[in-house]
Amino acid sequence: MLAKKLRVSGKEVRFLTKKRQLFSQGLFMIFFVEQYPNRHFHQISFHIPLAISKRAVHRHLVKRILIAAFEQSVQKLGAGPQFYKCFVSLNKHRLEPLIALVQQKSTVQLKDYLTKQRESVFSSFFLSSHEKNHSGTSRKYSHSRNSSQRRTGN
């Protein structure tokens, strides 16, 4: 389990989803915003939908695997110049392989699958955020739309 200071609160999750800065790749969708300047750590929260399994035990297993994977990614990449608040959700259009693994009750295969997905997505997210900070304006994977763009459809 993550330390309390590393978790995003419910109020912050609502803010992140309204802000609509989104990094989506593979199985994961990451809503994010830059961390406050006085906080030198990432904050993260995971949402595992009921579609994965009706049993909380299975959803918590997936969540624990993802939290451990996130901690490994942060340790591997080290402290970057910028820290983020992130809310990670699963892409509902790409859940079939994960649902099948949960139903098979194969913890080893589930862990391998999530580890592979996590490595590609979290590495890409942190690297793209480092590129953005070094180049100034590069936002390769993030999508941001303000409320006027949503209303007009531009």
CATH code, 14: 3.30.230.10
Instruction: Examine residue 124 and state whether it is found in any structural domain, yes or no.
Output: yes
Beta bridge partners of 33: 85
Average pLDDT over every residue of 116-131: 74
140 pLDDT more than 50: no
Instruction: Examine residue 143 and state whether it is found in any structural domain, yes or no.
Output: no
Pairwise pLDDT comparison (78 vs 119), residue with the higher score? 119
Instruction: Examine residue 83 and state whether it is found in any structural domain, yes or no.
Output: yes
Instruction: Examine residue 150 and state whether it is found in any structural domain, yes or no.
Output: no
Poorest-pLDDT segment among 36-40, 44-48, 66-70, 133-137: 133-137
Pairwise pLDDT comparison (11 vs 75), residue with the higher score? 11
Contact 59, 79 (CB under 8 A): no
Domain hosting 88: range is 4-133
Pairwise pLDDT comparison (14 vs 142), residue with the higher score? 14
- pTM of structure: 0.72
Instruction: Examine residue 142 and state whether it is found in any structural domain, yes or no.
Output: no
Which H or E element spans position 130? helix 107-135
User: How many residues does this entry show for the chain?
Assistant: 154
CA gap 53, 110 in Å, rounded = 13
Three-state DSSP class for residue 23: strand
The pLDDT assigned to 118 comes to 82
Instruction: Examine residue 82 and state whether it is found in any structural domain, yes or no.
Output: yes
Contact 53, 59 (CB under 8 A): yes
CA dist list (Å): 88 to 46, 77, 85: 5, 18, 10
CA gap 44, 42 in Å, rounded = 7
Domain count, the chain: 1
150 pLDDT more than 60: no
Average pLDDT over every residue of 115-135: 70
* Burial degree of 130 (CB within 10 A; 0-12, 13-18, 19+): middle
